[in-house]
Amino acid sequence: MSRVLVVEDETHLAEGLRFNLEAEGYQVAVADTGEAALAVLAARAFDVVVLDVMLPGIDGFSVVTEMRQQGLYTPTLILTARGHAGDVLKGFAAGADDYLTKPFELAILIARIGGLLRRREWMQATLAPAPVRPESAAAAPGPVQEFHFGDKAVSFDRLELVVREQVYPLTLMEAHVLRYLIQHEGKPVSRQKMLEDVWGLHEDTDTRAIDNFMVRLRRYIEDNPGRPRHLLTVRGVGYRFVAEPKPE
């Protein structure tokens, strides 16, 4: 039985979610503050976290940031307020895997939770805009599930980045962004295009939020994040991924 942690301070909403998710066969725990959520997560394992952003005390962004810093990669869906498009990117930058805007339809939430639980299939089917097949990769049929660059390898089905012996778990969104950059290997991609293609955001979102996300990715994939060699900034445009940088 899959275990869902609902972090929501509005009691009626939290209890409504508990009731409906239990009816769907999930085991549900509720935390009404971010602090309580972190305490519960430290004590017990969950398969999915549904996390409201607006909480008393520390907010949902801080909760997901703290989870990821602790190495806790439980798939996390954040609930953002309508009209706060920037919150979506902020949530992804903090390490969230998916989001829903309040008010949401219960059926959609249940479908998204199911999606996060089947994250491997979800990654392959729904999230991938097209198979990864950069020119430098072998022309294998079907989506490439592993990509090697330098002394690093990213596995899209295991959601891991392996740097020499070190294994870094990736969130779904981190894997998706990396996949997108790899698909466009060697070519500049604009922030606006990434927002549309990767995040599905067409609104007039502040594209600088993407930069926070890139800082995160660089910490994983660059030997010296201050002097990136794979994930390059293209001034005035966006980013360019280089699989095999020229020797310095």
- The contact set with Ca ion (CB under 5 A) reads 9, 52, 54
Query: Rounded to whole angstroms, how far apart are CA atoms 4 and 76?
Result: 10
10 vs 197, beta carbon nearer Ca ion: 10
60 vs 228, beta carbon nearer Ca ion: 60
Beta bridge mates, 152: 149, 163
> CB 97 → Ca ion: shortest distance, Å?
19
> CB 81 → Ca ion: shortest distance, Å?
9
Order of strands, edge to edge, in the sheet holding 98-102?
A: 27-31, 3-7, 48-52, 76-81, 98-102
Nearest-5° Cα angle at 101, 190 to 218: 35
Task: Name residue, tokens 């293209």.
Answer: 234
Name the residue with the smallest CB distance to Ca ion.
54
Query: Rounded to whole angstroms, how far apart are CA atoms 168 and 206?
Result: 28
9 vs 157, beta carbon nearer Ca ion: 9
> CB 31 → Ca ion: shortest distance, Å?
12
52 vs 185, beta carbon nearer Ca ion: 52
> CB 10 → Ca ion: shortest distance, Å?
5
